[in-house]
Amino acid sequence: MKFKGCGTLVMTFICIWNFTSSSICTKWGHMCKDDRTLIHCAKHNNRWVESVYQQCDANFRCNKVTNSCVPNYPVGVRFDCESDGLFPDPYQCATYYVCYWDGGALHKIFARCPNGQRFSPVSSRCSVEEFELTTCQRNFNCEYPGQVSVWPRNRNIYYICAMNNDHSLYPKVFRCSDEMIFNGTECVDRRSECYGFEER
């Protein structure tokens, strides 16, 4: 088909472009660009582009799991029994908790290892080796409420970060059934994963 006499059709595309092309975007949606910057990623003309939509306020940080600005929550000191068994004290190394069922309720005993020993999360006993092997450091990391993690060095134990009334975060510590390990989402049969107590 010919358009005789139509002259030249000039098409003009006008782009109002407030995105910049991105080297870090890999999928649509929002993500943390760095500790303080939340961006939105989109693909246009086969190119990833990003636009900043939030700079986290002071005392907030961009969380790479939730992809949102979360406050720098203080750490609350609290331990509740959530299931039965022996639990490392989340805040100290030479103490532990014994949680047991009695009369339809969970009860809690706070216990201390003998001098020169620490509670080993691996063996769930007080041990001299643990005292000699490890420096005492906090074994959990709570950055936002609802964060779920496996306990360091014992995948039979996991925790969920919960919030106190004063907005501090503390770990609710659980144990999987014997022979089960926490795979990051749920307790699964140890044999379905490679054997061991290694960290993720």
Ligand X SMILES: *[C@@H]1O[C@H](CO)[C@@H](O)[C@H](O)[C@H]1NC(C)=O
What is the radius of gyration, based on Cα positions, of the chain?
26
**Touching ligand X, residues 175-194 (CB under 6 A):** 183-186, 188
Residue number, 32 or 176, with CB nearest to ligand X:
176
Q: For residue 173, list its beta bridge partners.
A: 159
Residue number, 132 or 189, with CB nearest to ligand X:
189
CB of 188 to ligand X, least distance (A): 4
Residue number, 18 or 192, with CB nearest to ligand X:
192
The angle formed by the CA atoms of residues 34, 40 and 41, to the nearest 5 degrees, is: 100
What is the pattern of x (binds ligand X, CB under 6 A) and - over residues 32-61? ------------------------------
CA distances, 179 to each of 99, 120, 165, 197 (Å): 19, 18, 35, 12
155: left (phi over 0), alpha (psi -120 to 50) or beta: alpha
CB of 64 to ligand X, least distance (A): 16
CA proximity to 136, closest of 155, 152, 157: 152
Q: Report d(CA 93, CA 96) in Å as an integer.
A: 8
**Touching ligand X, residues 110-149 (CB under 6 A):** none
Burial (CB count <10 Å: 0-12, 13-18, 19+), residue 170: buried
Residue number, 83 or 149, with CB nearest to ligand X:
149
CB of 194 to ligand X, least distance (A): 12
What is the pattern of x (binds ligand X, CB under 6 A) and - over residues 64-103? ----------------------------------------
# binding residues, ligand X (CB under 6 A): 5
Residue number, 35 or 193, with CB nearest to ligand X:
193
Which chain residues interact with ligand X by CB under 6 A?
Answer: 183-186, 188
